[in-house]
Structure 1
Amino acid sequence: MWQNMVLVVAVTGVLVGCSVTSHIDESYQRQLSMPSTWQQTHTLGDVQPNWLAQLENQQVHDLIALALSNNFSISRKALEIETARQQLIISGSALWPTLDVSLDSARRKSANSSELSNSHSLNLQLNYELDLWGKLSAEERQANLSVMARQAEFLQEQYNLVAQVVISWFAVIEGQQQLALLRQRLALVEQNLDIIETGYKQGLNSALDVYLTRNEFSNESAKVAQQQALVSQRKRTLERLVGEYPSAQLGVQSELPLLNSSINVGIPSELVSRKPALLSSWYKLLQQDAALAFAHKSRFPSINLAASYGPSGTQFKDAFSMSAAGWSLLSGVSAPLFNAGKLAANEELARIQLKGQELSYLDSLQDAFAAVENGISSEQALRKRYQETLISEQNAKLAERLSFEQYQKGLVSYTTVLDAQKRSFEAQSSLISIKNELIKNRVELHLALGGDFKLSRPKENNHETT
């Protein structure tokens, strides 16, 4: 028996050299073609990992902490990690021997005799599959990489949630400021309507001016109602993110800061090892590579060892008597001979899936680079827009005041006044929107760069959000 086992080991040793399959390794990333700098870079330096600490208002930090604790998507991602860990335990158990105990009783009658025979046995069975070419190790590696991919996905989900909470919080503030501006606009139109109606009664203004002003008042009243609904919707979105009932009763009191500071963007090659989403995609690629190795090695013979020990006899008490105990040691080799191409197809399927996962990884890499480039160029454009809109707002306010003064003197029609007021309002509204777009773009740029965050109290005497 021992000679047979030696022969088995010798034969399998020859096959081990043909069992190595690894298409993806650490050198794969080093061979990727990546630019040394960003095409739209305006500031060089290391990416700031703790961008969240630069937010002043403590409410947003409290809301983020609440979201990380209560958000359903985050909780579901955490369960996916635990699921992958249990699968890892299952896969890893195949590398260890199994030990089972069995108690068997049988009663038989011979075909040539009327005599009955009894047998009772208690066996302790040990089974072990030799992993000479690493088939079981490949399966365990696949499960381990699945855990790592899930952990990276969970981290990215946390980053995404933090960004969503910050963006939603500022969206509520922007909506409230737009609502306040609309109410100011409505109050101005109401004041104009009172002046024009009084002038009409005195014969100073025409009926057309009255109708135009009343129409403007109705339009602005409708806009106020619409904006109120929008603010409520944004509050509900924020409440859903933090895991609370969407009652739209959340109180948010803050202002939109103007971003003037620059942001360090690092270099493209650092993004591969920093951004959790890319790490997850990389682990999935390695996982599929391990799946191909498992499919390839499943076509090789399986070598199993089995040992049993235990007493047996014709009496039930013999099954518990150590004097009747015996042992056996078995070894076996099983190899697939014919399965209609199933194992070959499984290997080819794993190879195709590996190629698909590789393309998915390269695609996600390009998407990550594009997100950073777009974020940098968008910030530059938004800053330019803000400066030009600021000039436009100043001119529009002067034109608004001048047009109404000239109307009262009879120099221009009321339509000129309405046009000037609309331009002034639109300029002020655009400034609020651009401020919020700058903040949203900055947060998304931090997210695209894979920047970390840390919950903390805001810095004192810091009047800028970056």
Structure 2
Amino acid sequence: MALALAVLLAGCAAKVRAPEPSTLQIPEAWRAPPLADVARRPVDQAWWRGFNDPAMTALVTLALARNGDLRVARLRIEDYRARVRAAAAGQQPTLSFDTGPSRARSLLSNGQPHVGNVFLAEFQAAYEVDVWGRLANATEAAAATLRAESANADAAALSVAANVATGYLNLRGLDAQLELAQATLKLREQSRDLARRQFEVGYSSRLEWLQAQAEYDSAAEQIPQLQRQIFEQENALSILAGGTPGAIVRGAALADLMPPPVPAGLPSDLLRRRPDIARAEDTIAAANAQLAATRDQLLPSFRLTAGGGLQSADFSDFLHGPTRLWRLGGTLVAPLFDGGRVQAATDSAAAQRDQAIVAYENTVRQAFAETENGLDAIVRLREQVVQNDARRATAAETLRIAHNRYRNGYAAYLEELDAQRSLYAADVTRLQLRTRLLTASVDLYRAMGGGWVADTRSR
């Protein structure tokens, strides 16, 4: 009979529909071309140190300590720790104390009025027996949400570190472009002065002099534009580091910065190396636990109560000879009809679980795409660097020949002008490729989790 009763009560739980089958597929290998310089060791958590730039390391460290968004994410962890304690408290007994004198006038059985006093002090204890695990599931839902928030803070820290590293590398790239623009301006000034002297002695036309002047003005125009970009980039980095807009300390030059080795790993490894994937997993766990707790609300709840205290109609008796009272009780509460409220709440919790599952699959797919793109970007950028080196060598030789032909009177200034433009464009592209190759390494480390390890103390 007891078994039949348990089965009957268990059947009172709300109905839960099963989730749809997963469509997630884990590739066996990366689609991007393989790289030769793959590191066969675990990714360093402080991966930005691999660039060997103390200024960059100091800036990232400062941002991880002071960034405003990251501080908010860490404070959210404290909020959810408190929520776990609140949920766990529901599994513990409660104890309360109640006291207070009262005075009332009432009618006796003979119709005469009577004024009486009551002095009462009582302790009350209550405990809900978690027969079906509803309270435990609610606590687990809160704990899984805490783990998700902890992983979310780790993901925010990884994002901040990557954004600061990328911003700093872009800043050094702009610094290098500004140096190139200033050096180019000096060369354009020399070419302009040469064209003016040759015009003054009648060796060349005024058109060639004006062309040289226009090219000088064009080079001069690039400098304030780059200075503005550097100014704005410094301010953005200062804000990321949790400070006010201001200058940024520089370290190694762009040409001296070397990216760290490419981290190794299979696609399946990525599932354990990214905090956003861990957050999505914990969100599913929280949704499942919350679904179980919601489903069991239709099951009976068992509650034990006990109380004891002192009572007297006279204050002196209350102090010296009170009447001792006690009571023990148990309640069984089961809903008979709620208009479908619990079933609707269960359906809602099931939908939230399904949303968490789909969000997890999307997060994993996005992680695969970001890693694939990062690996392929490094391969293609390296190929571009090789082509750019060949292009620059050709442009430099072309300029040398054009300059000699112009000085010796064998060609018009337009030839040298075109050669100058080609070399300058190749130099700018070279610096941009250098910067993009460095930032591509940052993007790859971000995509592969940046050496993230779950913090079991906060999870």
TM-score between both structures, scaled by the size of structure 2: 0.90
Query: Is the 2:64–2:157 Cα contact (8 Å) retained in structure 1?
Result: yes
Task: Report the equivalent of 2:43.
Answer: 49
How has the CA–CA distance of structure 1 residues 159 and 299 changed in structure 2, closer, same or farther, with 3 Å as cutoff?
A: same
Q: Aligned with 1:450: secondary structure? A: coil
How has the CA–CA distance of structure 1 residues 65 and 260 changed in structure 2, closer, same or farther, with 3 Å as cutoff?
A: closer
Cα deviation for residue 113 of structure 1 reads 3.6
Task: Report the equivalent of 1:464.
Answer: none
Question: Where do residues 378-417 of structure 1 align in structure 2 (5 Å cutoff)?
Answer: 378-417=377-416
Task: Report the equivalent of 2:374.
Answer: 375
Question: In structure 2, which of residues 3, 25, 41 is the aligned counterpart of residue 33 of structure 1?
Answer: 25
Query: Is the 2:164–2:240 Cα contact (8 Å) retained in structure 1?
Result: yes
User: Which has the larger displacement, 363-372 or 428-437?
Assistant: 428-437
Cα deviation for residue 429 of structure 1 reads 1.1
Cα deviation for residue 100 of structure 1 reads 0.3
CA RMSD of aligned residues (A): 2.8
Question: In structure 2, which of residues 38, 60, 66 is the aligned counterpart of residue 70 of structure 1?
Answer: 66
- What does the per-residue CA deviation read over 1:137-162, in whole Å, with 9 as the maximum and x for residues that have no partner? 11100110111111111122222222
- What does the per-residue CA deviation read over 1:389-443, in whole Å, with 9 as the maximum and x for residues that have no partner? 0100111111112112222333333222222111101111111111111111111
Task: Report the equivalent of 1:345.
Answer: 344
- What does the per-residue CA deviation read over 1:1-47, in whole Å, with 9 as the maximum and x for residues that have no partner? xxxxx99x99557535876999999xx99x95312211225157756
Task: Report the equivalent of 2:9.
Answer: 15
Gaps of 5+ in 2: 454-459
Query: Is the 2:53–2:251 Cα contact (8 Å) retained in structure 1?
Result: no
Separation (CA, whole Å) in 1 of partners of 2:33 and 2:320: 82
- What does the per-residue CA deviation read over 1:60-94, in whole Å, with 9 as the maximum and x for residues that have no partner? 22222211221112211110110000010111100
How has the CA–CA distance of structure 1 residues 411 and 113 changed in structure 2, closer, same or farther, with 3 Å as cutoff?
A: farther
Cα deviation for residue 228 of structure 1 reads 0.8
How has the CA–CA distance of structure 1 residues 318 and 150 changed in structure 2, closer, same or farther, with 3 Å as cutoff?
A: farther
AA partner of residue 223 (structure 2)? V
Separation (CA, whole Å) in 2 of partners of 1:244 and 1:440: 23
Query: Is the 2:52–2:258 Cα contact (8 Å) retained in structure 1?
Result: no
How has the CA–CA distance of structure 1 residues 23 and 390 changed in structure 2, closer, same or farther, with 3 Å as cutoff?
A: farther
User: Which has the larger displacement, 296-305 or 428-437?
Assistant: 296-305
Question: In structure 2, which of residues 56, 80, 83 is the aligned counterpart of residue 60 of structure 1?
Answer: 56
Query: Is the 1:256–1:436 Cα contact (8 Å) retained in structure 2?
Result: no
Query: Is the 1:53–1:453 Cα contact (8 Å) retained in structure 2?
Result: no
Question: Where do residues 241-260 of structure 1 align in structure 2 (5 Å cutoff)?
Answer: 241-248=240-247, 250-257=249-256
How has the CA–CA distance of structure 1 residues 171 and 102 changed in structure 2, closer, same or farther, with 3 Å as cutoff?
A: same
AA partner of residue 300 (structure 2)? P
Q: How many residues align?
A: 445
Separation (CA, whole Å) in 1 of partners of 2:452 and 2:288: 32
Q: Aligned with 2:276: secondary structure? A: helix
Separation (CA, whole Å) in 1 of partners of 2:427 and 2:32: 30
AA partner of residue 199 (structure 1)? Q
Is the aligned partner of 1:108 residue 2:100?
Answer: no
Question: Where do residues 186-225 of structure 1 align in structure 2 (5 Å cutoff)?
Answer: 186-225=185-224
Separation (CA, whole Å) in 2 of partners of 1:69 and 1:261: 23
AA partner of residue 62 (structure 1)? A
Query: Is the 2:14–2:295 Cα contact (8 Å) retained in structure 1?
Result: no
Separation (CA, whole Å) in 2 of partners of 1:11 and 1:321: 50
Cα deviation for residue 135 of structure 1 reads 0.8
Separation (CA, whole Å) in 2 of partners of 1:179 and 1:264: 33
Task: Report the equivalent of 1:285.
Answer: 284
Separation (CA, whole Å) in 2 of partners of 1:126 and 1:322: 24
Cα deviation for residue 260 of structure 1 reads 8.3
Task: Report the equivalent of 2:457.
Answer: none
Q: Aligned with 1:304: secondary structure? A: strand
User: Which has the larger displacement, 329-338 or 173-182?
Assistant: 329-338
Task: Report the equivalent of 1:171.
Answer: 170
Q: Aligned with 1:352: secondary structure? A: helix
User: Which has the larger displacement, 120-129 or 407-416?
Assistant: 407-416
Cα deviation for residue 232 of structure 1 reads 1.5
- What does the per-residue CA deviation read over 1:213-236, in whole Å, with 9 as the maximum and x for residues that have no partner? 222222211111100111112222
Q: Aligned with 2:353: secondary structure? A: helix
Percent sequence identity over aligned pairs: 24
Query: Is the 2:273–2:449 Cα contact (8 Å) retained in structure 1?
Result: yes
Separation (CA, whole Å) in 2 of partners of 1:264 and 1:23: 42
User: Which has the larger displacement, 288-297 or 34-43?
Assistant: 34-43
How has the CA–CA distance of structure 1 residues 104 and 16 changed in structure 2, closer, same or farther, with 3 Å as cutoff?
A: farther
Task: Report the equivalent of 2:85.
Answer: 89
Cα deviation for residue 336 of structure 1 reads 2.2
Gaps of 5+ in 1: 1-5, 455-466
